[in-house]
A = this chain, B = another copy of it.
Amino acid sequence: MMVCSLYPALRVTTPWSCSESHLGSCRKQLMFCVSRRKARRRAWTGVSCSAETRTVVIGLAADSGCGKSTFMRRLTSVLGGVAEPPRGCNAYSNTLVGDATTVICLDDYHALDREGRKEKGVTALDPKANNFDLMYEQVRALKSGVAVEKPVYNHVTGCLDPPELIRPPNILFIEGLHPLFDPRIRSLLDFSIYLDISNEVKFAWKIQRDMAERGESLESIKASIKARKSDFDMYIDPQKQYADAIIEVLPTRLIPEKSATEVLRVRLVMREGVKHFTPVYLFDEGSTISWTPCGGKLSCSYPGIRFFYGPDTYFSDEASVLEMDGQFDRLDELIYVESHLSNLSTKYYGEVTQQMLKHADFPGSNDGTGLFQTIIGLKIRQLYEQIIAGESSHGWKREQLRRCLRLSPV
C-alpha cells in the first residue's frame, strides 16, 4: 500500500468575514485556521496521504433552484452510502460526504458575502463575486490527494463562515453556478454535467417553491428572475457548451394545446468521444428512434409516455440524445423501459429500477429527471472504475506518491 505519512492541508486564503456569533461552539475545530503558525502545526498532524487512490473530479453546473441537491442525493446513493454533512459543528455546511464521494458547493467560493455583493452591485452569478483562483487551487489539491481547508458560505446569514477540512475522496463533485466557467478548473474535470432547465419550467418551479413554501409574492418572484437573467445568460448558460452530459428539462409535448410544465420532457444529451463515457442508447445504437411504450406492458394514464433516441449535434460536437416525455404511473414497471436501454453501466439487471424505487420519494422519480440522474450516477461510477483501473496499471500511484511528497506544507 502506498500511503504518505503526512499531508498538508491547504490553507484558506479568503478571510472568513462573519462575527463570532455565527460560529457557535466550533472554535476547537476551527482553531488551526486562526494563525499561520498554528495552522501549519495542525495541518501536519496525523493525516495520511491518500496516494493509493486518485480523486476523480466531476463538475455539475446549474442555476440555483434547479434540483442540484436531489441530483446529488441520487448520485451519492448510486456511488455508495448516504451523503451527509461532514462531521463538525457548522450546521450550515454546504458539503455532503458519502462513503466514496464528497460534494462541495461552489457557493463556498464566493469572494463577496451578501453584504459585499450588495455594496458592489453584483449578483452571485457574476464571476467577480467568486474566487476562482482559490477554487482552482483547492480542486487541484484535492485531485492530487491533498486535503484542503475550504471556505464555507452560509446561505442563511449570507456570510462567509470559518473554513472546513475537506479530505480527498474517491469522487469529488463540485456543484454550483460556475464549475465550468474557469478554463483551469475545467481542465481538472474528469467529467462534467450541465442541468439545463428551460425558462418555463424554472419559472414554474420557482413559483411552487417561493410562493407556496416561502410565501413570496408572484411579483417579487418575477422581479428576482428578471434581475438574475442577464447575468445568468452571460455567465452560467454558456458553460453548457463545455459539459460532457446535459440534462435538459422542458415542458411536455404530449399536451399540445399549452406549454404544460406539470408534465416534463427531459433530454439527456451525451457528447460522443468522451473518455470512459459511452452514451446510453435505446434499442439500436446510432439510429433515430421514437418509442411510445404504453400498452400491455406499461401503465400510462394521460398524456402517456414517449421516448426518443438519436444522434444529434451539440455546439457543433457529435452527441447522442435520449429523451423521455411524460411520467410513469407505476415505478416498478420501469424495468420494462430499462430492459430496452443499453450501455446503462449497471452491475446487475434492473439496477436502474431498483435505484429509482429506493428513492421513489425524491422529486422527479416518476419522470425523466430522476431516470436520467440515476443513469448519470451509474455512468460516473463506471467512469471512476475505469479511470482507477487504467491508472493503477500505468504507474499512477508512483507518480502520485512523488507529487504527495513534493507538496510542501503551507
Report A's interface with B, CB cutoff 8 A: 283-284, 286-297, 310-311, 340
Interface contact A289-B286, CB-CB below 8 Å = no
User: How near does chain B come to A266, taking the closest CB pair, in angstroms?
Assistant: 19
Kindly provide the distance from the CB of A119 to the nearest chain B CB, expressed in whole angstroms.
Answer: 56
Q: Determine the chain B residues whose CB is within 8 A of the CB of A310 once the complex forms.
A: 292
Contact yes or no, A286 B292, CB < 8 A: no
| Complex interface: chain B residues within 8 A of A290 (CB) | 288-291
> Which 9 A-B residue pairs are closest in the complex by CB-CB distance?
A288-B292, A290-B290, A286-B295, A283-B283, A287-B293, A289-B291, A286-B296, A287-B291, A284-B340
**Chain B residues whose C-beta falls within 8 Å of the C-beta of A288 in the assembled complex:** 290-292, 294
Nearest residue, chain B, Cβ from A289: B291
Provided the pairs A283-B283, A283-B340, A340-B284 are in contact, do residues A292 and B295 lie with their beta carbons within 8 angstroms? no
Contacts of A291 in B (CB 8 A): 283-284, 287-290
Distance in Å: Cβ of A8 to nearest Cβ of chain B = 50
How far in angstroms is the closest Cβ of chain B from A1?
A: 45
Q: How far is the CB of A292 from chain B (nearest CB, A)?
A: 4
Whether A289 pairs with B289 at a CB distance below 8 angstroms is yes
Tell me, in angstroms, the Cα distance from A286 to B298 when the chains sit together: 10
What's the nearest-Cβ distance from chain B to residue A386, in Å?
24
Residues of B within 8 A of A292 (CB): 287-289, 310
A293 touches B284 (CB 8 A): yes
Having A286-B296, A287-B295, one finds 9 other A-B pairs with CB under 8 Å, namely A283-B284, A283-B289, A283-B340, A284-B340, A286-B297, A287-B293, A287-B297, A288-B290, A288-B292
Q: How far is the CA of A360 from the CA of B85 in the complex (A)?
A: 68
17 contacts between A and B (CB under 8 A): A283-B283, A283-B284, A283-B289, A283-B291, A283-B340, A284-B293, A286-B295, A286-B296, A286-B297, A287-B291, A287-B293, A288-B290, A288-B292, A289-B289, A289-B292, A290-B290, A295-B311
A63 and B314 alpha carbons, distance in the complex (Å): 50
Docked complex Cα distance between A290 and B291 (Å):
6
